[in-house]
């Protein structure tokens, strides 16, 4: 029963991510797009963990850990670009 619940749960996560993608497409300011990007990053992290339990491939947990770190660094880079006009 739990496997079927997790299948529908991943579909629900995909719906939430696509809804956040609408805000990333039509955000009036660049900061809106950054907020939507963070939300999509969270959804993808949760989806990777559910996939890793559902198909018994536990080394995908490292991918989720790296995705959280890479999302943080990407957000910092884009914010520095918005503030200073250059990244480095």
Partner 1 sequence: MHAVRDIIVLILLIGGYFFLAAGVIGLIRLPDVYNRIHAMGKCDTLGCGLVLLAMILLIPGTSNIIKILIIIGLIAVVNPVMSHLIMKTAYESGTPMVKGTVTVDVYDTKKGKLPQEEGEQQ
What residues line the site for partner 1 (CB under 8 A)?
A: 1-2, 5, 9, 12-13, 16, 19-20, 22-23, 29, 31-32, 34-36, 38-39, 42-43, 45-46, 49-50, 52-53, 58, 61-62, 64-65, 68-69, 72, 75-76, 79, 82-83
Nearer to partner 1, 83 or 86 (CB): 83
**CA distance linking residue 37 with residue 44, whole number of Å:** 11
Query: CA–CA separation, 76 vs 69, rounded Å?
Result: 11
Please, are residues 61 and 74 in contact by the beta-carbon 8 Å criterion? Answer: no
* Smaller CB separation from partner 1, 2 or 88: 2
Supply 76's token pair.
């910092």
């Amino acid at each position: 029963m739990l496997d079927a619940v997790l299948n529908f749960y991943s579909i629900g996560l995909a719906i939430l991510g696509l809804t956040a993608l609408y805000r990333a497409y039509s955000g009036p300011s660049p900061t809106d797009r950054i907020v939507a990007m963070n939300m999509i990053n969270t959804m993808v992290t949760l989806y990777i963990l559910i996939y890793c339990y559902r198909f018994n491939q536990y080394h995908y947990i490292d991918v989720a850990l790296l995705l959280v770190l890479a999302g943080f660094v990407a957000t910092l880079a884009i914010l520095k670009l918005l503030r200073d006009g250059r990244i480095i």
